[in-house]
Amino acid sequence: MILLEKKEYPHQVNEFRKYLYHIQGKSTNTVESYSYDLYLLFQFLVDYKGINKEASPLEDLSFIEADFIQDICLNDFYAFLNYCKGELSNKNATTARKVSAIRAFFKYLYRKAKMLNHDPAEELEIPKIERRLPVHLNQYDAQYFLDSVEGRNKERNQCIVALFLNCGLRLSELCGLNLNSIKRDSIYVVGKGNKEREVYLNDVAQNYLEKYLEIRKGMEVKSKALFLSERKQRISPRTTEHMIKRLIDNCGLNEKISPHKLRHTFATLLYKNGVDIRSIQALLGHERLTTTQIYTHTDNEILKEAVNTSPLTF
């Protein structure tokens, strides 16, 4: 369960955490990411404004009062973002998240908490993020990867890979599955913003799930989690990531494949096989269609073939 108050955070940030989690229904990851970005902002501003007389950044920022926040202006945000880009080597995607956190926080202080008489972050712009084509396995490598899973915990690992490839689950969604999440030919997952959605299982996913359940239901453990670690506790995202990397290395695929890349594989192969983008959006649990539209990129092999059919290739 999320700890909504952290003693080293300013009081206003802790109140914002509660607002994000209880009122806006944001996921634990979003709450932690946003509040940590704000913690870094205040840590920087305490130094930048000469309040910290120590050689190293202050860790306990609980002393920050309303008057300190009310004095923050747009130029302070620019200074912080320059620091993040120069000293922390943040890329545009990381900077964009920090800007989103700052804008959401000061909008909350202005409109909800009524602590400010204006919003200093209103004109703070989000940097442009270069859209990269999603990395994915082709159909043959995806099938080879699934078929090549062997070794300890084979049934569990096969089931996990099958769910990533055939259902497009997020890593957090898979690790959060419980035994009672399974409903015949579908599973119920909790996605971003704690939103629940039903994910249908195809024959392949059902087959691997049934094989694993024969083993899982025989385990005498109290945990309700579907996937268990070696210690018979809910499998963690990090353990799952390491497992996928090890399996990729073992089967000889020269690819940097993570659980999220397997999700990309699911979506890309659906699109290439004629599934409409709206259906893919629903299957992935995307709130915005624009997020899904990255999968409409044209395959490089198709582009090569198109160039070679030019009548001027002589």
* pLDDT tops 90 at residue 302: no
Of the listed 11, 261, 286, 297, which one is catalytic?
Answer: 286
Of the listed 17, 216, 263, 264, which one is catalytic?
Answer: 263
Same domain, yes or no: 153 and 86: no
Domain extent for 239: 139-297
**Average pLDDT taken over every residue of the chain:** 89
Q: Which residues, 6 or more positions from 103, have their beta carbon under 8 angstroms from its beta carbon?
A: 121, 122, 124, 126
Residues 195 and 116: their CA atoms lie apart, in Å, by 32
Domain assignment present for 127: no
Tens of pLDDT, residues 264-299: 999 999 988 888 889 999 999 888 888 888 777 655
Same domain, yes or no: 108 and 216: no
Of the listed 6, 107, 192, 197, which one is catalytic?
Answer: 192
Of the listed 6, 211, 245, 260, which one is catalytic?
Answer: 260
- 11 part of the active site: no
- 263 part of the active site: yes
Same domain, yes or no: 150 and 33: no
Domain assignment present for 2: no
What is the model's pLDDT at position 58?
84
- 234 part of the active site: no
What is the model's pLDDT at position 4?
76
The CATH number of residue 22's host domain is 1.10.150
φ/ψ of 165, rounded to 5, equals -75, -30
Same domain, yes or no: 146 and 288: yes
Nearest Cα residue to 262 out of 131, 143, 132, 129: 143
Domain assignment present for 118: no
Confidence of residue 194 (pLDDT cuts 50, 70, 90): confident
Q: Which residues, 6 or more positions from 292, have their beta carbon under 8 angstroms from its beta carbon?
A: 267, 277, 280, 281, 284, 286
Q: Comparing 22-31, 112-121, 141-150, which segment has the lowest mean pLDDT?
A: 22-31
Highest mean predicted confidence (pLDDT) among 22-36, 43-57, 71-85, 194-208: 71-85
- Are the C-beta atoms of 294 and 277 separated by less than 8 Å? no
Structural domains counted in the chain? 2
Domain assignment present for 1: no
Same domain, yes or no: 92 and 152: no
Same domain, yes or no: 143 and 108: no
Confidence of residue 229 (pLDDT cuts 50, 70, 90): very high
Q: Say which residue the tokens 């539209």 belong to.
A: 293
- 170 part of the active site: yes
- 245 part of the active site: no
User: Which CA distances in Å does 74 have to 42, 55, 105, 265, 275?
Assistant: 14, 26, 14, 41, 45
- Are the C-beta atoms of 166 and 204 separated by less than 8 Å? yes
What is the model's pLDDT at position 99?
95
Model's pTM, two decimal places? 0.66
Domain assignment present for 55: yes
Q: Which residues, 6 or more positions from 35, have their beta carbon under 8 angstroms from its beta carbon?
A: 6, 9, 13, 16, 17, 20, 101
Confidence of residue 1 (pLDDT cuts 50, 70, 90): low
Cα 293–Cα 297–Cα 303 angle in degrees, nearest 5 = 165
- 108 part of the active site: no
